[in-house]
Homo-oligomer: A and B are copies of this chain.
């Protein structure tokens, strides 16, 4: 696959033009590529599996320009009837657990199994570093080169809601483009994992033994969301520690209530570096999909997730609109001060603000 198809990732290095093109021709091509195609044409191309069209459409989704958003909505509606056919896997873990190497290994495993893999990310913090997550392509060298893979860094944006929405809509487009496995990466800090958990079928928590990882960094509640805990870097001197960690996590998971899916979370070891445990993990995910499709949970979970997104989007928006009002802005901090001083209750303060 040519570099062109991944131009969205090339922010740091820029797009190198082939030398045999005149400057004029290069400018012409550049301009043509910058022109956005019409929604209908993009949908047709996406359904053919055209990755350039897919990239362009996702760029429209990520844009904040009103006319882009309108086009994006048309594309999403055009792709919607052709979506929902993939397995969506969320992958989380704090920085340092080897997420990129793991995704590379898992992705190549899937491609060798003749699957088409899209890798997306949710990382609101990347708005600062413009796509820090998945930015380090050197760790996903083989996956980047494969024409059966599509890698897209996290959308930028200030709010998690906005970033998550863009990723969720991108899933629809990737599915319409024929990607049958969607891997969604997030860092295990902040609230982005809850958002990712709400858009995937299977949620995977990547860990490493030792390094204080058990005791810090991972947000409360994440372990309970996991369908699988995978202890990475189970290689070399690390194997014994990894095995001990496996026992600890298995024990801990036993203390949790059963999941509504009926699935019993697994704990396994892997080494993304030595490519061990990856195939077994995928078999586990396939077993999960088979089991939950038979029980009906797979479909009902997706419907529940959609309803949850509807609810969440409505509530985020009306709340944001409320706090944006100038009279609320003026009075909110005063009421908070009164609360801190013990001169009013939160309920009386709320009543007052709601009466404005």
Knowing A319-B318, A343-B80 touch, does A349 contact B310 (C-beta < 8 A)? Answer: yes
A257 lies within 8 A of B350 (CB): no
B347 lies within 8 A of A169 (CB): yes
Residue of B nearest to A214 (CB): B255
Q: What is the CA–CA distance of A224 and B220 in the complex, to the nearest angstrom?
A: 7
A315 lies within 8 A of B313 (CB): no
Knowing A310-B335, A342-B81, A353-B314 touch, does A257 contact B219 (C-beta < 8 A)? Answer: yes
* A262 proximal to B (CB < 8 A): no
A347 lies within 8 A of B309 (CB): yes
Q: Whole-angstrom distance from the CB of A92 to the nearest CB of chain B?
A: 14
A257 lies within 8 A of B215 (CB): yes
* A10 proximal to B (CB < 8 A): no
B80 lies within 8 A of A172 (CB): no
B340 lies within 8 A of A303 (CB): yes
* A1 proximal to B (CB < 8 A): no
How does the 8 Å CB contact mask read for A315-356 relative to B, with 1 for contact and 0 for none? 101110010000000000001100110111111111001100
A322 lies within 8 A of B318 (CB): yes
B214 lies within 8 A of A77 (CB): no
* A249 proximal to B (CB < 8 A): yes
Knowing A307-B339, A335-B310 touch, does A254 contact B215 (C-beta < 8 A)? Answer: yes
* A7 proximal to B (CB < 8 A): no
Residue of B nearest to A319 (CB): B315
* A195 proximal to B (CB < 8 A): no
Q: What is the CA–CA distance of A80 and B229 in the complex, to the nearest angstrom?
A: 48
* A165 proximal to B (CB < 8 A): yes
A339 lies within 8 A of B306 (CB): yes
Task: Please indicate the chain B residues that have their CB under 8 angstroms from the CB of A215 in the complex.
Answer: 254-255, 257-258
* A289 proximal to B (CB < 8 A): no
Residue of B nearest to A166 (CB): B347
* A252 proximal to B (CB < 8 A): yes
How does the 8 Å CB contact mask read for A286-326 relative to B, with 1 for contact and 0 for none? 00000000000000000100111110011101110010000
How does the 8 Å CB contact mask read for A20-51 relative to B, with 1 for contact and 0 for none? 00000000000000000000000000000000
Knowing A348-B76, A349-B310 touch, does A317 contact B354 (C-beta < 8 A)? Answer: yes
* A223 proximal to B (CB < 8 A): yes
Q: What is the CA–CA distance of A353 and B309 in the complex, to the nearest angstrom?
A: 13
A318 lies within 8 A of B224 (CB): no
Scoring A77, A309, A313 by chain B CB atoms within 10 A of each residue's CB, the highest score goes to A313
A-B contacts, 11 of them at CB < 8 A, read A80-B344, A168-B347, A223-B255, A223-B256, A248-B255, A252-B252, A310-B336, A314-B322, A314-B353, A317-B354, A318-B318
